[in-house]
Chains A and B, each alone.
Chain A
Amino acid sequence: DVVMTQSPLSLPVTLGQPASISCRSSQSLVYSDGNTYLNWFQQRPGQSPRRLIYKVSNRDSGVPDRFSGSGSGTDFTLKISRVEAEDVGVYYCMQGTHWPWTFGQGTKVEIK
Chain B
Amino acid sequence: EVQLVESGGGLVQPGGSLRLSCAASGFAFSTYWMHWVRQAPGKGLVWVSRINSDGSSTTYTDSVKGRFTISRDNAKNTLYLQMNSLRAEDTAVYYCTVGLGDYWGQGTLVTVSS
A associates with B: yes
Alpha-carbon separation in the docked complex, A45 to B37 (Å) = 18
Contact (Cβ within 8 A) A48 B107: yes
Known A48-B95, A105-B44, A106-B44; contact A100-B61, beta-carbon cutoff 8 A: yes
Number of B interface residues in the complex (CB < 8 A)? 19
A41 (CB) vs chain B CBs: closest residue:
B101
Known A94-B101, A99-B59; contact A48-B45, beta-carbon cutoff 8 A: no
Known A99-B59, A100-B61; contact A50-B104, beta-carbon cutoff 8 A: yes
Known A92-B45, A106-B44; contact A51-B95, beta-carbon cutoff 8 A: no
Residues of B within 8 A of A (CB): 37, 44-47, 50, 59, 61-62, 95, 97, 100-107
Partner of A100, one of B47, B97, B101: B47
Number of A interface residues in the complex (CB < 8 A)? 20
B44 (CB) vs chain A CBs: closest residue:
A106
Partner of A51, one of B50, B101, B106: B101
A49 within 8 A of B: yes
Alpha-carbon separation in the docked complex, A60 to B104 (Å) = 14
A76 within 8 A of B: no
A54 within 8 A of B: yes
A74 within 8 A of B: no
Alpha-carbon separation in the docked complex, A76 to B45 (Å) = 19
Alpha-carbon separation in the docked complex, A48 to B3 (Å) = 13
Alpha-carbon separation in the docked complex, A100 to B65 (Å) = 12
A96 within 8 A of B: yes
B63 (CB) vs chain A CBs: closest residue:
A100
- Please report which residues of chain A, range 39-68, place their CB below 8 angstroms from some CB of chain B when the two chains form the complex: 39, 41, 48-51, 54, 60
A102 within 8 A of B: yes
Q: Which residues of B contact A54 (CB under 8 A)?
A: 100-102
